[in-house]
């Protein structure tokens, strides 16, 4: 059933004809190529994490500590028997992966979010569109297929928050992901050293500039002059951060939409319980790829306790540090229903646009498919803690 592993044959057969892949096949290789190729400011923004960047290192180190025990000759694990599909809120994905919400992608590609949404959809996986996209929700929705979700940065201006959620719902999103870990930006030395914050150049605020409620807060349309645009940017700055949010606020999102609501950025089981008790349908265990709190717990180390707390009654996703198929398998074993995949495909996008995103996603999908088969696993139903050493 799963054809993702065929990418391996495709690469070797193309190689036989004398052509190696244009891009590296690992996350580390994509990052290294991006470091050489992207502008210094774009690479710093994407690769950078908070302060000493220990959280980002913790994420990767922690995956290395959870080890898979392959089991041989347990049953069918041939590619045509394998099934990576998963049901999330009644929708089927061909593999348990959605692209993570990544803001300001316009820095690396002019048509970024439509490219990512359409590539993910064509591969049979999902995508989560960031509030800080460089293209308005409706234009991304038009090419993103069925399985896309909307990530909300909840503005301090309640009218704008409601409008964004209603627009995403009307445009066909299948879930709303409210990010809890970014009431403001972390201390990010790579950007600070360059004195660079993309939003101040009006990058990544297309959803606000196109929003009727946001526009009603402005004296003049942002298109009317450079000065009007500058005022719009400052208005955005004034409402981006929201330090007042509490679990009870989930009820308001539920008034604005009939869609499932997840809270992203959860690292403590009590916080998971609090948002689920307040009506959230799921959580994303995440430390934002290490971009917010330095030397924070690795997301994958927070996953087990959160899954134990709310996994029975809600959907649990994980991101932060996923770099390979085995990382995904570990996350699923520890209780995640699916994962969000972040930086590696962003490098692919910057390096080779549509082809680069597709390449990065096909690589991790093939890696997951092949690793599952070699570990003796046929479907995700078989993946639990028993596949891990000590599990």
Near ligand 173 in 112-171, by CB under 6 A: 132
Residues classed as catalytic: 288
User: What letter does residue 55 receive in the DSSP assignment?
Assistant: H
Near ligand 173 in 93-122, by CB under 6 A: 103-104
Near ligand FMN in 133-162, by CB under 6 A: 151
Instruction: Report yes or no: 101 and 134 within 8 Å, Cβ to Cβ.
Output: no
Q: Which does 315 bind (CB under 5 to 8 A by kind): ligand FMN, ligand 173, none?
A: none
The binding track of 298-337 with respect to ligand FMN, each residue x by CB under 6 A or -, is ---------------------xxxx---------------
Cα separation of 66 and 132, whole Å?
Answer: 33
Q: Which does 33 bind (CB under 5 to 8 A by kind): ligand 173, ligand FMN, none?
A: none
Per the document, the length of the chain is: 391
When the beta carbons of 102 and 171 are compared against ligand FMN, the nearer one is 102
CA distances from 179 to 100, 246, 250, 264, 293 (A): 12, 12, 11, 5, 15
Q: Does 343 bind ligand 173 (CB under 6 A)?
A: no
The single residue among 174, 264, 291, 343 that binds ligand 173, judged by CB under 6 A, is: 291
The single residue among 11, 46, 180, 334 that binds ligand FMN, judged by CB under 6 A, is: 46
The bridge status of strand 261-266 relative to strand 176-179 is: parallel
The binding track of 309-338 with respect to ligand 173, each residue x by CB under 6 A or -, is ------------------------------
Q: Which does 319 bind (CB under 5 to 8 A by kind): ligand 173, ligand FMN, none?
A: ligand FMN
The residue nearest ligand FMN at its CB is: 342
Cα separation of 55 and 259, whole Å?
Answer: 32
The nearest distance, CB 318 to ligand 173, in angstroms, is 17
When the beta carbons of 11 and 361 are compared against ligand FMN, the nearer one is 361
Cα separation of 13 and 7, whole Å?
Answer: 10
User: What letter does residue 376 receive in the DSSP assignment?
Assistant: T
The single residue among 109, 254, 264, 273 that binds ligand FMN, judged by CB under 6 A, is: 264
Cα separation of 385 and 330, whole Å?
Answer: 8
Q: Sign of the CA dihedral 255, 256, 257, 263?
A: negative
Q: Does 182 bind ligand 173 (CB under 6 A)?
A: yes
DSSP string for 50-97: STT-HHHHHHHHHHHHS-B----SSS--STTT-B--EEETTEEESSSE
Beta bridge partners of 266: 285
Contact segment (CB under 6 A) with ligand FMN among 6-14, 101-109, 114-122, 138-146 equals 101-109
The single residue among 33, 188, 196, 288 that binds ligand FMN, judged by CB under 6 A, is: 288
Cα separation of 87 and 252, whole Å?
Answer: 26
Q: Is 329 exposed, middle or buried (0-12, 13-18, 19+ CB in 10 A)?
A: buried
Q: Which does 100 bind (CB under 5 to 8 A by kind): ligand 173, ligand FMN, none?
A: ligand FMN
User: What letter does residue 322 receive in the DSSP assignment?
Assistant: -
Closest C-alpha among 385, 383, 373 to residue 1: 373
The nearest distance, CB 104 to ligand 173, in angstroms, is 5
Closest C-alpha among 315, 313, 318, 323 to residue 334: 318
Judged by the rule CB under 6 A, the positions of this chain that interact with ligand FMN are 45-46, 100-103, 130, 132, 151, 179, 264, 286, 288-289, 291, 319-322, 342-343
Judged by the rule CB under 6 A, the positions of this chain that interact with ligand 173 are 103-104, 132, 182, 204, 288, 291
């Amino acid at each position: 059933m799963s054809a993702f592993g065929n990418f391996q044959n495709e690469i070797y057969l193309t190689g036989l004809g004398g052509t190696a892949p244009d891009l590296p096949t690992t996350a580390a290789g994509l990052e290294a190529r991006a470091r050489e190729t992207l502008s210094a400011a774009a690479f710093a923004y994407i690769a950078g994490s908070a302060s000493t960047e220990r959280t980002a290192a913790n994420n990767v180190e922690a995956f290395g500590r959870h080890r898979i025990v392959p089991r041989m000759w347990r049953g069918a694990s041939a590619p045509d028997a394998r099934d990576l599909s998963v049901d999330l809120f009644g929708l089927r994905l061909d593999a348990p992966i959605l692209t993570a919400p990544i803001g300001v992608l316009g820095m690396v590609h002019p048509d970024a979010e439509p490219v990512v949404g359409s590539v993910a959809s064509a591969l049979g996986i999902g995508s989560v569109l960031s509030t800080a996209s460089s293209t308005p929700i409706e234009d991304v929705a038009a090419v993103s297929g069925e399985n896309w979700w909307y990530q909300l940065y909840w503005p301090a201006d309640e009218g704008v928050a409601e409008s964004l959620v209603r627009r995403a719902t009307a445009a066909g999103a299948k879930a709303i992901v409210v990010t809890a870990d970014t009431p403001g930006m972390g201390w990010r030395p790579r950007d600070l050293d360059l004195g660079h914050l993309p939003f101040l150049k009006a990058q990544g605020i297309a959803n606000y500039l196109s929003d009727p409620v946001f526009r009603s807060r402005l004296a003049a349309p942002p298109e009317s002059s450079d000065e009007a645009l500058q005022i719009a940017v400052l208005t955005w700055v004034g409402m981006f951060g929201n330090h007042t949010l509490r679990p009870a606020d989930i009820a308001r999102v539920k008034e604005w939409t009939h869609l499932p609501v997840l809270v992203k950025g959860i690292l403590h089981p009590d916080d998971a319980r609090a948002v689920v008790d307040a009506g959230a349908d799921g959580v994303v265990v995440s430390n934002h790829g290490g971009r917010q709190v330095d030397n924070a717990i690795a997301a994958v180390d927070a996953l087990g306790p959160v899954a134990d707390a709310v996994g029975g009654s809600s959907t649990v996703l994980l991101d932060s540090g996923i770099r390979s198929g085995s990382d995904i398998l570990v996350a699923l074993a520890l209780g995640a229903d699916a994962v969000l995949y972040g930086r590696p495909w962003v490098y692919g996008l910057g390096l080779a646009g549509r082809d680069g995103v597709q390449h990065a996603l096909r690589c991790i999908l093939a890696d997951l498919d092949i690793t599952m088969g070699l570990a003796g696993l046929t479907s995700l139903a078989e993946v639990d803690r028993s596949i891990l050493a000590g599990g």
